[in-house]
Structure 1
Amino acid sequence: MDPIIAATHADPYPYYATLRAEGGLTFHPGLKFWVASSARAVCAALAHAECRVRPAQEPVPKAIAEGIAGNVFGQLMRMNDGERQRCPRSAIEPALGLIDQDEVYARVSARLISTDADGLYKAMFRGPVCVVAALLGFSPAQSRAISDLTAGFAACLSPLSNDSQLAAAHLAAEQLRGYFIELLAESAGDSALLARIRQHFNGDEETMIANLIGLCSQTFEATAGLIGNALVALRHNPQLRAHPVDALLSEVQRFDPSVQNTRRFVAESCEIDGMRIEAGDVILVLLASANRDPALNENPDVFLPERKNRRSFSFGSGRHQCPGQALAMGIAGATLRQILDHGVELDRLSWHYRPSLNGRIPLFSTLAV
């Protein structure tokens, strides 16, 4: 076991506890980076001014730097610090906070959901992006196309993608850009969400388009993992169905988050959680481990949907905290309700985790009768 493999292990949480016991911030000699595993160390790494989201010498991954997917990547607020992060966030975050959750529920409810393996995949991965696209003003047909293209574009965000997947990601990015250019040209058809973003966005149109694509891509895997891990929790303990869906999901995102870790790149030598970290060092920030730190949550290894004073790093912390948390939780909650209402047979579900270096996203299959 190592901190990377742990993300898709059947049960990484005892291993995370071992890491916390060894110290909140330790150097892994095999992987050659620092590992922040305690709540204190994770909070310190996420808050420190010298901890950046990308290495200074490689703001865009080399594998995609020469294509349109790289152009989009380089403008994403989540992949930048300073003004290139603050400018788009200052327009997008407030707009996301004003989304009507009843509208989210209505758009999820309008989708056809089946509870076989294919239906669960579409509900987890395709449905949430369709909802976001619809909220931005796309038609149902366009929203389905945006969802399909987002799945292709997301490949550029993973170091595990092969050359053919990266080529497809460049093509998907080009097509997504075309859809958003047309949407922005049709000002009369603005959605409330898009109108608010446009009103407060001070950057150029290309930056806006890149971050609208980024909104879709962030929805793609993280929301799928939230829905999927809730189904895993219900499969392990069907009695959890007695609890409200919102309470169940709130504990799922803490107990078994879809984003297990993130990385920070140290720009200048500094001290973090009592350790001297040198410029150029990398810190693997174990969000999922911090969530299970007894210093953060009492009885952290017990699944409590009605947990009081729940604290979690699953959506990040500080200046890069996910601006779409409420939207993700709303889409996931509405989708989970639909799946359960359609009578999913939990005891017939088996799963494995999607290959990833940081995500914990189950892919389901249905056991034969």
Structure 2
Amino acid sequence: MLPAAVSDTDPAIDPLSAVTHPDPYPYYRELATHRPFFRDQRLGLWVAAGAREVAEVLSHPECRVRPPAQPVPPVLAGSPAGDLFGRLIRMNDGAAHAPLKGLLMPMLATIDASIAAHRAAALAELLDADTALSAGRINGFLFTLPVVTLADLLGLPVAVDRATAAAAAGHVAAFAAAQSPLADANAVQAGADAAQWLGNWLADAVPAAGPLPSLHQAARAAGIDAQAVSANTIGLLVQACEATAALAGNTLLHLGRGTVRAGTAPEVLAAQVAVLDPPVQNTRRFLAADARLCGHDIKAGDAVLVLLAAASCIGMADGKRPWTFGHGRHACPGDRLAQALAGATVRALLARGADPAALARAFRYRPSLNARIPHFC
């Protein structure tokens, strides 16, 4: 079972520390019910916790994914990581990125979840080092198998050998880690090196199958920069990295705790855990202009912390979609694929002898301000 509930007055929990708290859900539920939109003076942030308020913020035209004066995090600016970050559709607003988005979303929709699960099973064999299933190896599988599977489905040459697959996934993870506000100088440098490696890798890759050749052809016809296509291909792999690792890891935890039914297909369990214990707990929006938002006058430059996990305590977005995958114009288009990849990763680990009960007794959450990622010890 989950640890004992905490009260809303517990000083050890706030909207950011909740991400890695043993059980933040009573706190989230209290906010969603009684404080759906408020100003946290200590954090210097507006906080949206109610489902209606979360939806309003994520749909508001003046709520942007980056501060208007800071399109790239300062620590990444001027580096290959900053250049890559600045081209990502999910980190930009405005019409300039609409044509490429209009090509990427249909491309993702062509990837069948059942085929993704089948490819993940095959690639798990490639990654299998035929060694004891240690906690470290499980952590590695969580961060590697979903990324490698998506890369393979797109047509990228990752199934050559274990070293190639591990290198690609490792660089994706390093670039993802560099984007965190908690990243130190070494992590930022590693992210810059990873962005350079990934850019070179995609430039040299010649996809023989999958949807990438058609994407590049359509992008050229639309006058879209090839670098933007490559950057957003990397962006898709990043989205398959930390969030999917978190979803798979949390699914293992809930199996070990008995809060989900053993014997249920892992893909179904992953869909349940996406609601019960969301991998992405929050996101942020930044006001580009003064606006009336959730009954409050918000000033240009203000930031809103959007508690997806709190909204999840009330129900699903639009009645069918887990809040953790977002809502509105920046909603993740790969929600079904992510759940399939997470489930396939859990299935692969269970097949190799992973013991969820033992894992649930020895883990911690990785330091993060928005993702709930178990690290098994």
Residue 22 (structure 1) aligned with residue 34 (structure 2) = yes
Partner in structure 2 of residue 347 of structure 1: 357
Contact 1:234–1:240, Cα closer than 8 Å, also in 2: yes
SS at 2:283 equivalent:
strand
Tell me how far apart the structure 2 counterparts of residues 75 and 311 of structure 1 sit (CA, whole Å): 27
The one-letter amino acid of 1:217's match is V
1:81 aligns with 2:102: no
Q: Deviations over 1:147-182 (max 9, x none)?
A: 111122112210111111111111111111001111
Match of 2:134 in 1: 116
User: Which of 174, 180, 191 is matched with 2:209 structurally?
Assistant: 191
* RMSD over aligned Cα atoms: 1.7
What is the aligned counterpart of 2:328 among 314, 318, 323?
A: 318
- TM-fit CA distance, 1:346: 2.1
Kept in 1, the 8 Å contact 2:243–2:279? The answer is yes
Q: Given the superposition, is the C-alpha separation of residues 272 and 231 from structure 1 closer, same or farther in structure 2, using an over 3 Å criterion?
A: same
Q: CA deviation at 1:342?
A: 2.7
| Residue pair 1:153, 1:172 contacting (<8 A) in 2 also | yes
1:207-356 alignment runs, 5 A limit: 207-237=228-258, 240-293=261-314, 296=315, 310-349=320-359, 350-356=362-368
Q: Is the contact made by 1:55 and 1:265 (CA closer than 8 Å) also made in structure 2?
A: yes
Supply the AA of the counterpart residue of 2:348: Q
Deviation at 1:239, TM superposition (A): 6.2
1:42 Cα deviation after fit? 0.2
**SS of alignment partner, residue 209 of structure 1:** helix
Shift in Å, 1:119 = 2.3
Taking the aligned partners of 2:237 and 2:298, their CA distance within structure 1 comes to 35
Segment of structure 1 superposing worse, 29-38 or 10-19: 10-19
**Does the aligned pair in 2 maintain the 1:91–1:198 contact within 8 Å?**
no
2:103 maps to 91
Identity of aligned pairs, percent? 39
Report what 1:3 is aligned to: 15
Q: CA deviation at 1:340?
A: 2.1
Q: 2:203 aligns with which of 181, 185, 197?
A: 181
Q: 2:183 aligns with which of 154, 158, 161?
A: 161
SS for the counterpart of 1:10 is coil
Secondary structure of the structure 2 residue equivalent to 1:172: helix
Q: What is aligned with 1:305?
A: none
| 8 A Cα contact 1:75 1:84, kept in partner | no
Query: Structure 2: which amino acid aligns with 1:82?
Result: G
Q: How many residues align?
A: 348
Query: In the superposition, relative to structure 1, how do residues 239 and 18 fare at CA in structure 2: closer, same or farther (>3 Å)?
Result: closer
Q: CA deviation at 1:68?
A: 0.8
Q: Which amino acid aligns with 1:335?
A: T
Q: Does 1:143 align with 2:153?
A: no
Quick check: 1:291–1:311 contact (8 Å CA) kept in 2? Answer: no
Separation (CA, whole Å) in 2 of partners of 1:84 and 1:166 = 28
1:212-233 CA-partner distances (Å, limit 9, x unpaired) = 1111111110000010010111
What amino acid is the match of 1:156?
A
Deviation at 1:204, TM superposition (A): 0.3
Secondary structure, counterpart of 2:247 in structure 1: helix
SS of 2:241's partner is: helix
Amino acid at match of 2:236: L
Q: Counterpart of 2:63?
A: 51
Deviations 1:347-369 (A, max 9, x none): 2212100100100000112xxxx
- The structural deviation recorded for 1:195 is 2.3
Amino acid at match of 2:268: A
Give the TM-score normalised by structure 1: 0.90
Which whole-Å CA distance do the structure 1 matches of 2:289 and 2:113 have between them? 42
Separation in structure 2 between the aligned mates of residue 197 and residue 331 of structure 1, nearest angstrom: 22
Q: Deviations along 1:186-211, whole A, 9 cap, x unmatched?
A: 3xx43222123223323101111111
CA deviations on 1:35-83 (whole Å, 9 max, x unpaired) are 0000000000000000000001111011110111000000101100112
Contact in 1 for aligned 2:281/2:371 (Cα 8 Å): yes
Q: Bigger shift: 116-125 or 355-364?
A: 116-125
Q: Which amino acid aligns with 2:139?
A: Y
Residue 92 of structure 1 and its aligned partner are, at CA, apart by 1.2
Quick check: 1:363 aligned with 2:375? yes
Distance 1:44 1:134 in 2: 37
- Kindly indicate whether the alpha-carbon contact (under 8 Å) linking 1:90 and 1:200 is maintained by their aligned counterparts in 2: no
- In structure 2, the residue matched to 1:300 is none
Q: Is the 8 A contact 2:269 2:343 kept in 1?
A: no
- By how many angstroms is 1:310 displaced? 4.7
Structure 2 portions without partners, runs of 5+: 1-12
